[in-house]
């Protein structure tokens, strides 16, 4: 029982840090149309840098396993590709967006 309690104490802060979705303002949906400058297909969430509207955004994507299972492969996130991202802006980082869906090459992938 002590081991379980110790494990929960270690995991709980990670879970809270990982799922801080309240950091994003879901009352202000945004659609960004731009060009992918770079991308990461890493855990816990993929990311990309999207040049849109005169600035470069950091876009937080879904975990790689979810993206792959929904058909968004790493190769789709190639630098130079045009993308449309729908999501919610960060409350504290003016150039960050949590993506709900992404469209690349006419194919839309739901991420949440």
pLDDT tens track for 28-47? 999 999 999 999 999 999 99
Statement: residue 17 has pLDDT above 50: no
Statement: residue 14 has pLDDT above 50: no
- For the chain, list the domains and their CATH numbers: 24-110 (2.40.50.1010)
Q: What is the mean pLDDT of the chain?
A: 88
Q: How confident is the model at residue 21 (pLDDT cuts 50, 70, 90)?
A: confident
SS3 at position 52: strand
| Kind and range of the H or E run holding 67 | helix 64-69
Residue 100: other Cβ atoms inside 10 A: 17
Statement: residue 90 has pLDDT above 80: yes
């Amino acid at each position: 029982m002590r081991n379980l309690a110790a494990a929960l104490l270690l995991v709980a802060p990670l879970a809270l840090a990982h799922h801080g979705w309240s950091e994003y303002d879901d009352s202000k949906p945004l659609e960004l149309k731009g060009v992918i400058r770079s991308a990461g297909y890493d855990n816990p969430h993929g990311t990309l840098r999207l040049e849109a509207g005169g600035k470069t955004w950091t876009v937080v994507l879904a975990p790689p396993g979810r993206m792959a299972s929904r058909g968004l492969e790493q190769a789709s996130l190639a630098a130079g590709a045009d993308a449309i991202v729908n999501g919610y802006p960060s409350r504290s980082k003016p150039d960050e967006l949590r993506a709900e869906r992404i469209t690349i090459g006419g194919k839309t992938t739901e991420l949440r």
